Amino acid sequence: MAVPSSSVFDCIVLGAGIQGSFTAYHLAKNHKKTLLLEQFPLPHSRGSSHGQTRIIRRAYAEDFYTNMMEESYQLWAELEKESGVKLYRKTGLVVIAPPGNEEFETIWKNLEERKLPWESLMQEQFKQKYPGFSLNPEEVAGCDHDGGVLSADKALRAVQEQFLKMGGVIRDGEKVKHIQPGQVVKVTTNSSVFEAEHLVITAGPWAQKVLSPLGLELPLKTLRINVCYWKEKIPGKSGLLQNFPTFLAVNPNGEEHEVYGLPSQEYPGLFKICFHGGNEADPEARELQDKPNEIQDIQILCKFVSQYFPDLHPKPAVIEQCMYTSTPDCNFILDYHPLHKNIVIGSGFSGHGFKLSPLVGKILCELSIGKQPIYDLKPFSITRFKTQ
């Protein structure tokens, strides 16, 4: 949509990934004249919000996320209703772990205390329900019944469309080159200058590049994620197409990592099984990497797949890239810029921010318009890093 380049907005949101788009949507709902700026032509696949699927779950070891998911589910349902697009598919989310695993125990304690629907799965039950999924004999499993799959691309499109319907303005292909803080913030892009009373920065893996010139260094790491899809050895034979669960494997074989998986959706007959993590990389250079066979996280996945899913080829059929922006404690950053209170920052989503994005957007909007969010934002504060 064309706007005069000298317009003054109530708020500019920098970055049209899922977090920025939901922030802009909530600002527009609050009748704020809002501009959403994006450096790439939309849609694009250079950040963290692209692709067709993301896991949604209440199963968290940190109870504050479990609490926040309550409202997040409601906000997802609201967007589904407004847009008429189905975004959430309930499949249940299976968590597996070695016996006595602390994270596993805490997850179920959190769900149980809140009387949320979950069930512990005995080995025999698990075998019957998921015939192609081989648990280690001593491993434990549980199911978060409200867990499932979000349609990521559709969600991004839906929230941006609703924002536009409410009078919001999106300008894509506008890379922000300079921010001049002040009572009115001046934002210069490659082709225009915009002004607003408030700015929200949701720049995903580019956050540090945007924040450094504003005098803020955050302990963010940007990681290249290899998104792997796996096919059956004999198509249709394993029964996995009918029974593949959305899952999270915590410390499989007692190793210090997590693997997650989702039923076939992106590519017919291919299952998404990924390593939760990756190697540090600049978002501008994420495709530059060594041979897939020599990458450690893919080697770990090959071993995982051959052991847990013996009916799948133990080599990925498709590998795509995405980016995580991770903090040291893997909790988000939702806070004001320490020196400029009309600049709000949403960052560090550490590979698990999609499911919470409707609520993250609401919180960032509230911070920006001076409304006190009902959640305790201490786990998301910038000051927490000073003690680390």
Ligand X SMILES: Cc1cc2nc3c(=O)[nH]c(=O)nc-3n(C[C@H](O)[C@H](O)[C@H](O)COP(=O)(O)OP(=O)(O)OC[C@H]3O[C@@H](n4cnc5c(N)ncnc54)[C@H](O)[C@@H]3O)c2cc1C
Determine, following the binding rule CB under 6 A, whether residue 75 of this chain makes contact with ligand X: no
Determine, following the binding rule CB under 6 A, whether residue 54 of this chain makes contact with ligand X: yes
Size of the site for ligand X (CB under 6 A): 36
Q: In this structure, what token pair is assigned to residue 383?
A: 């000051």
Determine, following the binding rule CB under 6 A, whether residue 348 of this chain makes contact with ligand X: no
Q: In this structure, what token pair is assigned to residue 114?
A: 């809140």
| Given the residues 198, 337, 352, 355, the one annotated as active site | 355
The span from the CA of 365 to the CA of 344, in Å, is 9
Determine, following the binding rule CB under 6 A, whether residue 19 of this chain makes contact with ligand X: yes
C-alpha R_g of the chain: 21
Determine, following the binding rule CB under 6 A, whether residue 97 of this chain makes contact with ligand X: no
Q: Which one-letter DSSP state was computed for residue 387? A: G
| Given the residues 53, 91, 189, 246, the one annotated as active site | 53
Q: Which of 108, 163, 354, 380 binds ligand X (CB under 6 A)?
A: 354
The span from the CA of 63 to the CA of 76, in Å, is 20
In this structure, the strands spanning 279-280 and 221-231 are antiparallel
Contact between 165 and 104 (Cβ < 8 Å) = no
Q: In this structure, what token pair is assigned to residue 105?
A: 């125990």
Q: Which of 33, 145, 154, 175 binds ligand X (CB under 6 A)?
A: 175
Contact between 342 and 198 (Cβ < 8 Å) = yes
| Given the residues 276, 286, 337, 352, the one annotated as active site | 276
Give the nearest distance from C-beta 353 to ligand X in angstroms.
3
Q: In this structure, what token pair is assigned to residue 126?
A: 């698990």
Determine, following the binding rule CB under 6 A, whether residue 228 of this chain makes contact with ligand X: no
Q: Which of 18, 97, 333, 367 binds ligand X (CB under 6 A)?
A: 18
The string of DSSP codes covering 328-379 is TTS--EEEE-SS-TTEEEEE--TT--STTHHHHHHHHHHHHHTPPPSS--GG
279 in helix, strand or coil? strand
Q: Which of 34, 39, 264, 342 binds ligand X (CB under 6 A)?
A: 39
Q: In this structure, what token pair is assigned to residue 329?
A: 């404690």
Determine, following the binding rule CB under 6 A, whether residue 227 of this chain makes contact with ligand X: yes
267 in helix, strand or coil? coil
Q: Which of 11, 12, 13, 15 binds ligand X (CB under 6 A)?
A: 15
The string of DSSP codes covering 154-208 is HHHHHHHHHHHHTT-EEE-S--EEEEE-SSSEEEEESS-EEEEEEEEE--GGGHH
Q: In this structure, what token pair is assigned to residue 219?
A: 């302990």
Give the nearest distance from C-beta 347 to ligand X in angstroms.
7
**Which residue lies nearer to ligand X by CB, 12 or 121?**
12
Q: Which range binds ligand X by CB under 6 A, 39-47, 108-116, 158-166, 372-380?
A: 39-47
Q: Which range binds ligand X by CB under 6 A, 9-17, 58-66, 311-319, 363-371?
A: 9-17
Q: Within 10 A of 144 (CB to CB), how many other CB atoms are there?
A: 26
Our CA angle for 221, 227, 232, nearest 5°, is 155
Q: Which range binds ligand X by CB under 6 A, 91-99, 112-120, 127-135, 205-213?
A: 205-213
Any catalytic annotation for residue 66? no
Any catalytic annotation for residue 26? no
Q: Which of 263, 351, 358, 361 binds ligand X (CB under 6 A)?
A: 351
The span from the CA of 249 to the CA of 245, in Å, is 12
Any catalytic annotation for residue 322? yes
Determine, following the binding rule CB under 6 A, whether residue 324 of this chain makes contact with ligand X: yes
Q: In the block, which residue shows the tokens 């009572």? A: 183
Give the nearest distance from C-beta 47 to ligand X in angstroms.
2
Give the nearest distance from C-beta 15 to ligand X in angstroms.
3
Give the nearest distance from C-beta 128 to ligand X in angstroms.
26
Active site residues: 50, 53-54, 272, 276, 322, 355
Residues near ligand X, by CB under 6 A = 14-20, 37-40, 46-49, 54-55, 175-176, 202-206, 210, 225, 227, 322-324, 349, 351-355
